[in-house]
Amino acid sequence: MSPRIIDQLEIISRELTKYTCQLFIDKEGKKEYPVPFGSAVLFAHNKNHYLISCAHVLIDQDSNPPYFFKSKNEISTIGGENLFTRLSKLTKRINDKYDFSIVKLSNKTIQNLMQTGHKFLDESDILTGYEPTANDYAMCIGYPANRTNVNVKTKTIEMKGLKYVSKFLKSDFTKSGFNPKFHFVIKYSINNFINNNTKTKSRGPKPVGLSGGGVWAIITNENKQRLIKLVGILTEYMEEHSILVSTRIDLIIESIRQKFDPSLKNKGVLVDII
CATH of residue 96's domain is 2.40.10.10
Cα separation, 148 vs 44, in Å, equals: 27
In a domain, 211, yes or no: yes
Domain range for residue 253? 3-259
- Residue 46: predicted pLDDT: 96
In a domain, 274, yes or no: no
In a domain, 202, yes or no: yes
Query: Distance from CA of residue 125 to its chain's centroid?
Result: 14
Cα separation, 198 vs 205, in Å, equals: 17
Is 80 exceeded by the pLDDT of residue 98?
Answer: yes
Cα separation, 101 vs 99, in Å, equals: 7
Q: Are strands 183-187 and 162-166 parallel, antiparallel or unpaired?
A: unpaired
CB atoms within 10 A of CB 198: 8
Mean pLDDT for the stretch of residues 50-56: 96
In a domain, 83, yes or no: yes
In a domain, 270, yes or no: no
- Residue 157: predicted pLDDT: 79
What would the pLDDT profile of 19-44 be if each residue is shown by its tens digit? Answer: 999 999 988 766 667 889 999 999 99
- Residue 182: predicted pLDDT: 95
In a domain, 240, yes or no: yes
In a domain, 206, yes or no: yes
Q: Provide the domain count of the chain.
A: 1
In a domain, 210, yes or no: yes
Window from 4-18, 51-65, 131-145 with minimum mean pLDDT:
4-18
